[in-house]
Every structure is written in structure tokens, then in C-alpha cells.
Chain A
């Protein structure tokens, strides 16, 4: 072998090692950036579902349940005559307060955007109209000879709540749908799309391939069985890939949260419908007794037919269990936040190991060249 060909072979090796190191470091940076971004995006979405969207959905269903109970309590209070002593009653006051608190909580937590805010604003305004109508019914009913007007006001208040076109309950349903849509949107956002999440896998697999090929090249060229720093880097990368695979578990947990929340909303709606049907039947009976002597109640009351009661109604325990399940799933999805920092640190360590693992050979061949 001539001197010239030896120099050429040595410089080629140094160049190869330098290129390998550059490729390994660039791939490592790509792994750090994508893993951090993906994990951050997924965790951020999971935390939003756990801390905002999920409680806001539950707050709106609670507000609806409370309002139906409030209306039921008011009707019972008028029907029993309790209204003459205590107005619409403590239970009515408690339930309307509960509804207001839940709406305030939904407003505070809402991550469903402008349309949800508009619905909330409308619901709050309509709720004010409803409570004012109940107060008016109370005031009229207590006046001597005011029972007819009091009952008419109570009927009007109930219609403010139940109106198909712009009633409080209809608007609450609109709000609930908007929140469910927001939850769906959160699932379809870039970072939550499983296909997008898998993007981190491409640089990770490239880095893995480079590490293995570098190890093989070093073994072949320099007759070393294994390069320990690169072996550790490869093991760390395997750990990073395993950690990132946890995002698929997060997706599963969030899907479980969404399904459970949808079930809770259905269950609460069914329960609320049962209360609502009972309330409307009581109101209808009271109206019939009030205007029975006067030639009827008119076409609006006559054509008013309470909805059909739901066949099977979930128990409070069932609903509580489902709410707890939704909470557990959401909490589990958002629980692995510590990985968000650990993954980039592992990436930095891989980079350091790559530099360390190739340093001696590069120095050796650069020196020889």
C-alpha cells in the first residue's frame, strides 16, 4: 500500500465518522423536538379535558337537573299551599342557587369558545326571567283573590323554562351540545390525532437505525465488539420510544373519558326527564283544578301534554359511579406529565453519548490524517 492511498483511506474514515456524528446529532435533535412537542400537545389536551372541558360539561348537566327540580319544588309549593307561608320554598331557592353556581362554574371553566360563551350569557339572562316570573307568581298568589293570576304566572314561568323555541332548558341543551362538540374538536386537534402523534416515531426510528449502523460500522472497521456509549445511547432511545408509546395509552384514556361523559350526560338527561314529566303532570292537574269552573284553561293548556316518562331511569349511584370513572380516566390521561421533561433530557443524554462514543476514533483518525 502506497503512502498516498493510505492518507486517502484515513481521511475517508475521518470524514465518514464526522458525517455519522453529524447525522446522529441531527436525528437526536429531531427526536428531542418532536417528542417534546408531541408529548406537550397530548398532555396539554389531556389536562384541558381533565381540568376544564369535563367539569364544564358536568356543571351544565347539573344546572339543568337543578332547574327542573327547582320548578318541581315551586309547583309543589303552590299546590300544597306552602307558598302562602314560605313562598316557593327552601328547596326551590336551593335548587336555583345550585343552578346559578353551576352555570358560573361552567362559565369559568368553559374551553368551548365563543359560541358556548354566548349560550351561557343567554341562559343566564333567561334564568333571571324565570326566577322573576316565579317571584311574581308568589307575590300575586299571596294577594287576596290573587290565586288565579298567581297560577297563570306559575304557568308562564314554567313555559319560560320549557319553551321549545327559546326556553332555558333548550338553551342549556344547546350549550351542552356545544361543549360536547368542543370535546370532539379537542380530540381531532393535531396533537391528539394518532397519525400526527406517530410523527415522532419517524426521527426516532431513523436515529435507532443510525445507531445500529454506526455500531456495526465501528465493529467492522475497528474490530471492536461493541461501543459502550453508543450501546447506552441505543438503550436510552429504546426507553424514549417506550415512553412515547404511552401517548397511545393517553389517547385510549381520553376516548374512555369522552364515552363515559357522554353516558353521564344521557343518564342525567333521562333522570331529569323523569322529574320533568312528574312536574308537568302536577302543574297540569293544578291548572285543571283552577280553571275547571271557568269554562276550561284555553287551547295552550289543553294542547299541553307532558312528555312520556322514560322507561328505565339510572340511579344516583350509577351516575355517581360513571362520573367517578370519567374523572379517573381523565386523571390517568393527564398523569404522566413528568415524562414531558424526562424525554428531552433523555435526548440530551443520547446526544452526549454519541459525542463521547465517537470522540476517540474521530480524534485518532483526524490526528493520523
Chain B
């Protein structure tokens, strides 16, 4: 016999309606929790247009995987990351420009091995000597964005009929073009002000004295007061001092991004200065020497075992996902930017010294002696020895 009470409850919206409702609610909560867990936190230095470019990549990653990336871009990335690691709450992934900082994190055990990076992406990383590995050969970093720094740009719609072969020819070409000091130079870059000068010294040293001297200097074994390094500074001085459009003081007060906003003809920088410039070959110091170049890059490392972060690292490492000029990282004779290989206090002092030298070239002896004092004060195991590659 049918129970009228049960029938009545069902009709009135009792268990007959409540139970499915509860089940639906639980299902919604459970599926909501499951999808909410797939988050990855990433910190990097990129803000503005660079930050937006990276965000576009992250958006595509989200569209493909459903994983939400919480990206934080700030130039204070080093301080924020150090603080987070110390507190035991690091981001899942950090992207840093200095291999030396990544090496220190690897040494402290903060990095996780990137076993998820395999195949061609792993092979490419193996050809880049600046990537961080442990004694067992496990990979800990991948380069997400790389730039070739050995580049000279000339303000002209087309290259000159005769390409300058020497620095004197190059400067003369620039002077003829603008009728005055030809070089564009801006040393300003907020907390890393001075690096454009350091880039010059690195490039000149590499091309004048070769990769071996460059590697020794970057590894802290070749003194700043050595003839090779001193010659590089003096060469830089002879090329640009007194030859900067707007004057040497203006270069100290100008942001590197504004350097080409003047009536100058020549600029040494990685990024394309914009329309109206063509690239010229880097003049040689030693004819017949093999082609070498300085490269810099921002490398990603994983700080947690979040599986979603592993997926992101795999994605970033995949061919075609990196924000790199095609073929750049497989070019021969690439030497990583020495300042980024040096310990932080040494790199900071290098940048500052470029400013001091530009402000007063007569202080070169003092500047180099101070740099050597700092070099001596840094423990040996804080330096990296990275050969040129691949």
C-alpha cells in the first residue's frame, strides 16, 4: 500500500526535492574546488609592454590547459623573491635575469629539478652553458627570453655603401651623418642604472681579448686592473667619451630607452631602436678572429612541486613558445653577459663604476682598484665559471 505521508512529503518538496538539490550542491562545490586548485604563481621583472607580452603567452597557456597563472611583474623581483623564499612561501615559478642568483637558489636547495622538460627543449637547454644543473646533470632552469647584446645600429633607411670595418670608421660615418657627436647613450635604468655602460665594456673585452679572458673575468679570476680589462674600459672611453650626442653629462641623466630620441646616429643596444635604424656589423678589434657575441636572457626556475607549475615550465620550454629571436640560442660563439654571471655586489659595483668613469674618465685607476677590492671580498664559491657556447 502506498504510504500517503511519504507521497505527501514528496509532493510538498521534502526529500524528493531536497536530496537532488543537496547532491547538485555538493557536485557544484566539489567541481568548483577541483577547478579552483589549478593555479600557478609566477614572478618576473617584466612590466608594461614586456609584461603584457608575457601575459599573452600565459593567456594562451590558460586557454590550452585551464590553468590560471597569477603573474606578478615588478623590478623589485629579486627582493620580493628573496623575502618569499626566506618565509618559506616562494612563488611556483620565478623568472630572473641573473644566472648567478639562480645558482645561489640552486645551492640553497630552493629550486626543483625540471624533469618535465624533455625532448628538443631539453636538448636546447643542454646546449646553453649558463643553464643551472646539479652534479647529476638534472636541469633547473630554462631561458624564456634571450637578447643578443652585440649589436650596433645606424640611423639610416639603408646600410652605407661601404660598411665600416673599424671603430674609427664607424664613428666617422656617424659624425658625417649627423654633423656632430654621433653616439646615442642613456645610462639611466632605475635600480640598475649604469648597465648600458657595462654592456659596452663586456662587449669590447670579449672582442678585444677573446672568450677565455672574458670567462676568467666573469668568473672573478681575471683582475679588473689586468691589462685586458683596463684596455676594454679605455677603448670604451675612446669610442664614446666626447662623442655622445648631448654630452657626457646628458648620458648620465638619460634613460637608456630615450637615448635614440636625440639627433644621434649610432647606438649599441640589444633591442631594435625603432624604424629608421639599420644594423651594422660589430667592428672587429682583431681581424680574422672567430665571431663571438654577448647574449643575455631571463631564465625560469620552479620553486615548488605544484603539478600545474610543471605544466607551465613544460609549456614555456616548448619550441615556439619562447620569446626568442629564431635561432639565437643555437648560434655559435655566444657568451652570457658577464655582469649577470657575477655575484650581485660585483655587478652592482660594475654598473656604478660605468657611471663614475663616464662622469670622470680620469678616475679609471681608482674605479678599477675599488672593483678589485670588491672582487677580493667575495667568496670564491659565489662566482660562476660559464664557458661560451653552445
What is A's interface to B at a CB cutoff of 8 Å?
118, 121-122, 125-126, 128-129, 133, 136, 145-146, 148-149, 152, 155-156, 159-160, 163, 165-166, 171, 287, 290-291, 294-301, 303
B47, B250, B355: the one within 8 Å of A166 (CB): B47
CB pair A152 B247 closer than 8 Å? no
* Residue of A159, A160, A166 most packed against chain B (CB within 10 A): A166
Grouping DSSP codes into helix (H, G, I), strand (E, B) and loop, the B interface class, with mixed when no group exceeds half, is helix
On chain B, the number of residues with a Cβ less than 8 Å from chain A's Cβ atoms is 35
CB pair B83 A121 closer than 8 Å? yes
Chain B residue contacts of A290, Cβ below 8 A: 249
B352 at the interface (CB under 8 A from A): yes
Chain A residue contacts of B72, Cβ below 8 A: 118, 122
CB pair A166 B251 closer than 8 Å? no
B73, B76, B355: the one within 8 Å of A129 (CB): B76
**14 A-B contacts, Cβ less than 8 Å apart?**
A126-B75, A128-B79, A129-B76, A155-B253, A159-B255, A294-B247, A295-B246, A296-B250, A298-B249, A298-B253, A298-B254, A300-B188, A301-B250, A301-B253
Question: Complex: how many Å from CA A130 to CA B331?
Answer: 39
Grouping DSSP codes into helix (H, G, I), strand (E, B) and loop, the A interface class, with mixed when no group exceeds half, is helix
A145, A156, A171, A297: the one within 8 Å of B250 (CB): A297
Check A303/B258 contact, CB under 8 A, given A166-B47, A294-B248, A294-B250: yes
Chain A residue contacts of B356, Cβ below 8 A: 149
B190 at the interface (CB under 8 A from A): yes
Check A152/B253 contact, CB under 8 A, given A122-B80, A291-B247: yes
Chain B residue contacts of A298, Cβ below 8 A: 186, 246-247, 249-251, 253-254, 258, 262
A129, A152, A171, A296: the one within 8 Å of B359 (CB): A152
Which residues of chain B in 264-291 are interfacial with respect to chain A, using CB atoms and an 8 Å cutoff?
A: none
Which residues of chain B in 342-362 are interfacial with respect to chain A, using CB atoms and an 8 Å cutoff?
A: 352, 355-356, 359-360
Question: Complex: how many Å from CA A118 to CA B74?
Answer: 11
B252 at the interface (CB under 8 A from A): yes
Question: Complex: how many Å from CA A136 to CA B84?
Answer: 27
Question: Complex: how many Å from CA A126 to CA B79?
Answer: 9
Chain A residue contacts of B255, Cβ below 8 A: 159, 300
Chain A residue contacts of B73, Cβ below 8 A: 166
Question: Complex: how many Å from CA A126 to CA B47?
Answer: 14
Check A300/B249 contact, CB under 8 A, given A118-B72, A122-B80, A129-B191: no
What is B's interface to A at a CB cutoff of 8 Å?
47-48, 72-76, 79-80, 83-84, 186, 188, 190-191, 193, 246-255, 258-259, 261-262, 352, 355-356, 359-360
Minimum CB distance partner of B247 in chain A: A295
Chain B residue contacts of A122, Cβ below 8 A: 72, 74, 76, 80
CB pair B252 A152 closer than 8 Å? yes
Chain B residue contacts of A136, Cβ below 8 A: 352
CB pair A125 B79 closer than 8 Å? yes
CB pair A300 B254 closer than 8 Å? yes
Question: Complex: how many Å from CA A230 to CA B73?
Answer: 66
Chain B residue contacts of A160, Cβ below 8 A: 190-191
Chain B residue contacts of A291, Cβ below 8 A: 247, 249-250, 253
Chain A residue contacts of B249, Cβ below 8 A: 148, 152, 290-291, 294-295, 297-298
- How far is the CB of A259 from the nearest CB of chain B, in Å? 32
Minimum CB distance partner of A155 in chain B: B253
- How far is the CB of B225 from the nearest CB of chain A, in Å? 21
CB pair B74 A166 closer than 8 Å? yes
CB pair B248 A163 closer than 8 Å? no
